[in-house]
Amino acid sequence: CGMRTTKCQLLVTSLCVMLLGLSIATLSTVTHYGLRFTLISNISLDSNTYRVIHHTAFYSGICLSMTLILAALLSSAATVRESRCLSAMGFFCFALAFCGLIPAACWRYTHSTEVEGSVMDVYDFVYEEVRRNTSSFRRLELTAIHEAFLCCGKHSPFGDTTNVENETCPPGQVHDEGQDCLREIQDFLKKHMDFVFWLLGIAIGFTVYGMILTSFLWFSIHFSSNLYRKGKYILR
């Protein structure tokens, strides 16, 4: 009865882990190919760290999602076939995913301000280039940022910036405190990073639970097979 309950719990957990893996893969893809993220990545200079963060987050998320999906498939197969080998492999994949999720969650907690700062540095650079009228190409980039983030300009300490905003803001967009681009970018990234953190936290919880269930399933299969062998007699 206990083994049957464990198998049911493991199947449900495997399904949840697979959904979490697909969610992480989807989020990584959206983060990498989303309009706002790709726009900032293409504009950022080589000295800016955002481009490195952008690519690293994508590949790390894909690797984590594949590990979670593989762990879910192996644990499901181990449950159906009652295989010690598959349950051990499922436990290993859960442990591997756990070792990847913990650093990812810690990095998000300790470096979230670095991500926000790198993106706002990109906007500051483009804005000041346009304000000094040094590049018409930068004006197109600033217009694209305003249209992507639905914001308009910023409060600059260098004086009146009305001309910059009139040239680069979307039609009908009125510049006020609520539409300051630095604040809009910061709020957007904070919401995105909070969602990432909660998704990683849920994945960590299910990963630990999956490790416990797969180990319990392995011991259950091991002892039940030993008891089955003990019940056999050989006549000589």
Domain count, the chain: 1
pLDDT of residue 74: 92
Angstrom distance (rounded) from CA 78 to CA 194: 35
In a domain, 165, yes or no: no
Q: What is the pLDDT of residues 181-223, one digit of tens each?
A: 888 899 999 999 999 999 999 999 999 999 998 988 888 877 7
Q: Which regions in the chain score pLDDT beneath 70?
A: 1-3, 134-135, 155-162, 172-179, 224-236
Q: What is the pLDDT of residues 167-192, one digit of tens each?
A: 778 776 654 444 688 888 999 999 99
In a domain, 161, yes or no: no
In a domain, 195, yes or no: yes
In a domain, 169, yes or no: no
Which range marks the domain in which residue 112 is found?
1-148+179-231
In a domain, 157, yes or no: no
In a domain, 184, yes or no: yes
Angstrom distance (rounded) from CA 145 to CA 72: 40
Return the exposure string of 188-205: e unless at least 16 CB atoms fall within 10 Å of the residue's CB, then b.
Answer: bbeebbeebeebbeebbe
In a domain, 42, yes or no: yes
Q: Model's pTM, two decimal places? A: 0.83
